[in-house]
Structure formats: structure tokens, C-alpha cells
Structure 1
Amino acid sequence: MKREHIILPADPADSEDRAVSIEGMERGQRARLIRKTRNDLGLSQVEFASRFRVPVGTLRDWEQARAMAPDFAVAYVRVIGRHPDLVAQAVA
């Protein structure tokens, strides 16, 4: 079994705290970027998913860091953040 490198150990005084791995930190950062981009556009998850052709369940998993968005998805979201109308037109 692969052991993840812990970059932020759990606080022993907090029974609900968990250690954070490098992968977990990256997953969280990607989730934050996606959520922030969607919120900056003023769209709900359903609206964003529909407008940019992303399955809403996948978007939810990415935003809640249950799954790590792949590199291509992060790049896509960054382009959406800069040119939302152009992207929406291209996928229509």
C-alpha cells in the first residue's frame, strides 16, 4: 500500500482534524479554483455544468474535492474564467 507524504499533520488536540497529504492539498486547491471561477461568473453548479458541458456530478466531485480535477479540466476552467462567453459559444 502506497503511503502518502503528509505535509500538514493533524492537530492531536482536535479530534475532527485530519492530516493533509500533497495530493490532498492539490485536490483542495483545484477545487477552490473551480468553485471560485463558477462563483465569479455568478452561476450555480447546474448552470455552469450546462453552459460549459461538464457533467454536474463531476463538477460537484471536483468542487467538493472528492475527486481531483485532471490537468486538462483545470486548464479548461482557467480559460472559462478569462473568456466565458467565447467558451460558451464554442461549445454550443
Structure 2
Amino acid sequence: MKNAPIALPTDQADAEDFDVTVEALDRGQRARLIRTTRTKLGLSQSEFASRFRVPVGTLRDWEQARATPPDFAVAYVKVIGRYPDIVASAVA
């Protein structure tokens, strides 16, 4: 990953700062979308995972940006955010 495109370069004035790649920035934005959708619904990770049939470990990895959720998962979470009751009844 030494040649990965840099989205945010290191702040030379901050000895502890580091470059942020485009991939890492995208993963962080996806994590934020998933986390904020869940919290706006007032659900814990385990409640959200159970209600919408997402493995809780996968949800945790996505929210903590340890793994990048695929495009279909991001789309699914966006639909959940708009129509949580309809999605919950569809997967029940």
C-alpha cells in the first residue's frame, strides 16, 4: 500500500500525524454512515444486527472501520435508515 493515493497528507507540524489514504477515508465515511443510522434508530449493535439480519461481528467491524462494507451493504443501511419498519418486516 506504499503507493496508495493519499487523501489527507501528514501535517508536518504534528509529529504524531500520518497520511490518510483514499481507501481509509472511504472506509471511515462508510463506518460513520452505518453507526449514525443505527444510533438514530436508538438500537444497540446487537439489536440492529438481530432486527436487520446482519452478523453482529460484521456490524462491529464495519462500524469500527476494521473492514470496508461492500456497496450493497451501504445501500441496505441507507434503505434501513429511510424505512426501518418496512425493512424489519421484510426480513422477519
Task: Report the TM-score range of the alignment, normalised by the length of the smaller protein.
Answer: over 0.9
Distance, in Å, in 2 between the alignment partners of 1:22 and 1:64 is 17
Distance, in Å, in 2 between the alignment partners of 1:11 and 1:79 is 37
Distance, in Å, in 2 between the alignment partners of 1:80 and 1:12 is 41
Give the CA deviation at 1:10. 1.8
Number of equivalenced pairs: 92
Match of 2:44 in 1: 44
Distance, in Å, in 2 between the alignment partners of 1:10 and 1:2 is 14
Give the CA deviation at 1:9. 1.1
* Percent identical: 74
Query: TM-score if structure 1 supplies the norm length?
Result: 0.93
Matching of residues 1-92 of structure 1 within 5 Å: 3-92=3-92
Query: TM-score if structure 2 supplies the norm length?
Result: 0.93
Runs (5+) with no aligned partner, structure 1: none
What secondary structure sits across from 1:88 in the alignment? helix
Question: What is the identity, as a one-letter code, of the residue corresponding to 1:44?
Answer: S
For residues 15-44 of structure 1, the C-alpha deviation after alignment (integer angstroms, 9 at most, x for no partner) is 432211111111011000000000000000
Give the CA deviation at 1:2. 6.1
Question: What is the identity, as a one-letter code, of the residue corresponding to 2:50?
Answer: S
Distance, in Å, in 2 between the alignment partners of 1:29 and 1:63 is 10
Distance, in Å, in 2 between the alignment partners of 1:4 and 1:26 is 13
Distance, in Å, in 1 between the alignment partners of 2:64 and 2:15 is 21
